[in-house]
Amino acid sequence: MEDNELIDLCAFRYALGRRTYIVDVVVTHLYYRIEKYSINMLKRLQEEIRNAYDLGDDCDKYLWDMLLEEVEDELDNRRDAREV
């Protein structure tokens, strides 16, 4: 894992389950960097969102669900590209 991914993962873990503005800030940051992440990073995000005990309030849960959907789409796109 590259340093930038590690820093983003730390921010992600800090924000996961919080009920503050930081959820929106971190999710937005991650969302716009998805295409740059390694498969390892994407799988880690996917697993941790899926296994989170508490995703926060409804507005926070919506953001995490949106990010999870984008992560899974990116993983599917890469899987499809490898199969061609």
Q: Give tens-digit pLDDT for 22-43.
A: 999 999 999 999 999 999 999 9
Domain residue extents for the chain: 3-83
Q: How far apart are CA 54 and CA 56, in angstroms?
A: 6
Whole-Å CA distances, 26 to 9, 72, 73: 10, 18, 19
Per-residue pLDDT, 82? 75
Average pLDDT over all residues of the chain: 93
Whole-Å CA distances, 22 to 28, 44, 52: 10, 20, 17
pTM for this structure?
Answer: 0.89
